[in-house]
Amino acid sequence: MSLHTFFELKNAVVGIAGLGGLGSNVAVALTRLKVGKLILADYDVIEESNLNRQNYFYDQIGRHKVDVSLENLRRINPEANLVGHKVRLAPDNIPRVFAEAHVVAECFDRADQKQMIVETVLSKMKNTIIVTVSGLAGFGKSNDIRTVRLSPRLVLVGDGVSGTAAGAPLTAGRVGVAAYHQANAIAEILLNDLRSVLLGNKL
Amino acid sequence: MSAKLKINGQEREFADAFPATLAELLHCLNIDRATVVAEIDGKIVPRAEFDATPLHENANIELVRFVGGG
């Protein structure tokens, strides 16, 4: 990685909404990319059933995902600038929790929650880009998962149709493909779209 | 008389049942309003305003539908 690229990512702030199968893995990728600051938000605790796809360990069951994520990410980079919010995200607190973020990663599980945060960011946070995910259940069909720019501030990852409502399982491979699409889309946004913002705004 | 709407880039003609509001359009398309983000002519329409948002002929409507999983 060139010095220039490193500098740009160091000035970036990314919010991660939800630390499940998507968020826990997106957080790992963005930590390894040395994104300057990550704002993590989740209210949940780790359950044994999460370990099939989420970046947690058996001895961490029962603990809050935010607390454990902070520990795990600091094992990757002890100097990572991380902020954790143990909170249930809603339209009234999202603009405050993610106020500093250039990009927000939507990493929720439920369809109505995905709708809620995308609507909130697009309508209330005029300078923030959101990268959201829809359609990642099941296994295989890796190449059906795509990254599409729907509008200047909205990027959609997924196949658009594979939901959990019909009983399809969430599996490590396919959720991981989507999570790394999401992390890669964020890196692309930071390095392309936000280049001038990040260079001019030395946080 | 018929009227058109552009939905996700595709023109769609409504012969005699042009939907009066965004909520009516979603009902007509069989889309669960709890899982869709809507834009009309580039402007986001909050879900709470779907019932009160009238549609005009040739409106450019983008609908982003979400399915569960994460």
How many structural domains compose chain B?
A: 1
The CA distance from A196 to A163, in Å, is: 37
Nearest to B67 among A119, A123, A165 (CB): A165
pLDDT, one tens digit per residue, over B22-63 is: 999 999 999 999 999 999 999 999 999 999 999 999 999 999
The CA distance from B15 to B2, in Å, is: 4
Chain B CB contacts of A23 below 8 Å: 70
| Residue B70 domain-assigned (yes or no) | no
Predicted local distance difference test score (pLDDT) of residue A17: 99
CA A166 to chain centroid: 25
Q: How many CB atoms lie within 10 A of CB A50?
A: 20
Predicted local distance difference test score (pLDDT) of residue B2: 73
Mean pLDDT, chain A cut into blocks of 10 residues (203 residues total): 68 97 98 96 98 98 98 97 98 98 98 98 96 98 97 96 93 98 96 78 49
Predicted local distance difference test score (pLDDT) of residue A203: 43
Check whether B20 has a pLDDT greater than 50.
yes
| Residue B51 domain-assigned (yes or no) | yes
| Residue B56 domain-assigned (yes or no) | yes
Could you give phi then psi for residue A2, rounded to 5 degrees? -70, 160
Q: CATH code at B20?
A: 3.10.20.30
Catalogue the E-assigned strands of A53-140: 81-85, 103-106, 129-133
Collapsing DSSP states into helix, strand and coil, what is residue A141? Answer: coil
Under a CB-based contact definition with an 8 Å cutoff, are residues B29 and B61 in contact? no
Place of tokens 């998507």: A22
Predicted local distance difference test score (pLDDT) of residue A56: 98
- The arrangement of secondary structure in A3-200, i.e. its CATH architecture, is 3-Layer(aba) Sandwich (3.40)
| Residue B54 domain-assigned (yes or no) | yes
Which residues constitute the domain of residue B13? 3-65
Predicted local distance difference test score (pLDDT) of residue A186: 97
Q: Whose CA is closest to A112, among A178, A163, A156?
A: A163
| Residue B8 domain-assigned (yes or no) | yes
Q: Establish, for the pair of chains A and B, how many residue pairs have beta carbons separated by less than 8 Å.
A: 81
Catalogue the E-assigned strands of A47-86: 81-85
Predicted local distance difference test score (pLDDT) of residue A8: 65
Could you give phi then psi for residue A175, rounded to 5 degrees? -65, -40
ipTM: 0.91
pLDDT category at B16 given cuts 50, 70, 90 is: confident
**Would you call A136 and B70 a contact, using CB atoms and an 8 Å cutoff?**
yes
* Token pair of A198 as six digits: 């990040």
Task: Using alpha carbons only, give the angle A36, A31, A97 rounded to the nearest 5 degrees.
Answer: 60
Chain B CB contacts of A164 below 8 Å: 67-69
Place of tokens 């019932």: B51
Q: Which residues pair with A157 in a beta bridge?
A: A133, A147
**Would you call A111 and B46 a contact, using CB atoms and an 8 Å cutoff?**
no
The CA distance from A17 to A97, in Å, is: 10
State whether residue A165 sits within 8 Å of chain B by CB.
Answer: yes
State whether residue B49 sits within 8 Å of chain A by CB.
Answer: no
